[in-house]
A and B are shown apart, each in its own frame.
Chain A
């Protein structure tokens, strides 16, 4: 069974631009969550989607948004990029919201210059 996939794996953007990251969960998984990892702040929860609805949101500005499609694939978008948005963005999927195991993808490393 294929794992969680994220595209692209690496991305370089300029301050002020916007970016869209994609996450394909494990087949059959319906819950997708996003995290930002930086050396200073560690791993921080961004948002969670289930059945195309945002169920939980972390403490991030409105420049960070996401959505989930009917096939459970998810995208996150960051508008008006700032230098501080440089991070590893990780996506995780699980069968359901109550399921104990969350499986992470390899991440997208975003560099903002």
Chain B
């Protein structure tokens, strides 16, 4: 079974509008962390936001927020006021357990295109 599922291979959004990228995860470990990364065409992975399984509030970082619904095992990324520079691949990732260090499990990604 897939540990991380991103069901939207590609998405379009109009500049200045908000967009939600979906991510569902599967784990039986009570301690885990969820990450979102952006990968422009240059290839570098850019860290966006992190949510721990025990965090009570949804994480926010500037225009990025994570809609964490623990019971549904979903961790959707919301980008407000989209910009042309937001066009990129977006990956959701999970670290299971408290002692897994740098081992992240990635989803297949969503390609976001922002239209002017």
- Chain B associates with chain A: yes
A101 pairs with B47, CB closer than 8 A: yes
B25 within 8 A of A: no
A81 within 8 A of B: no
Partner of B109, one of A35, A42, A107: A42
A16 within 8 A of B: no
Partner of A33, one of B91, B98, B103, B109: B103
B103 pairs with A48, CB closer than 8 A: yes
Question: Chain B interface residue count: which class?
Answer: 20 to 34
Q: Is the interface of A mostly helix, strand, loop or mixed?
A: strand
Per-residue B-contact encoding for A80-113, CB less than 8 Å = 1, 0 else: 0000000010101010011011111111010000
A100 pairs with B33, CB closer than 8 A: yes
A31 pairs with B98, CB closer than 8 A: no
| Residues 22-57 (chain B) with a chain A CB within 8 angstroms | 33, 35, 37, 42-47, 50, 52
CA distance A42 to B68 in the complex (A): 24
Query: What are the 6 A-B residue pairs with the smallest beta carbon separation, nearest first?
Result: A33-B102, A97-B101, A104-B45, A43-B106, A48-B102, A100-B50
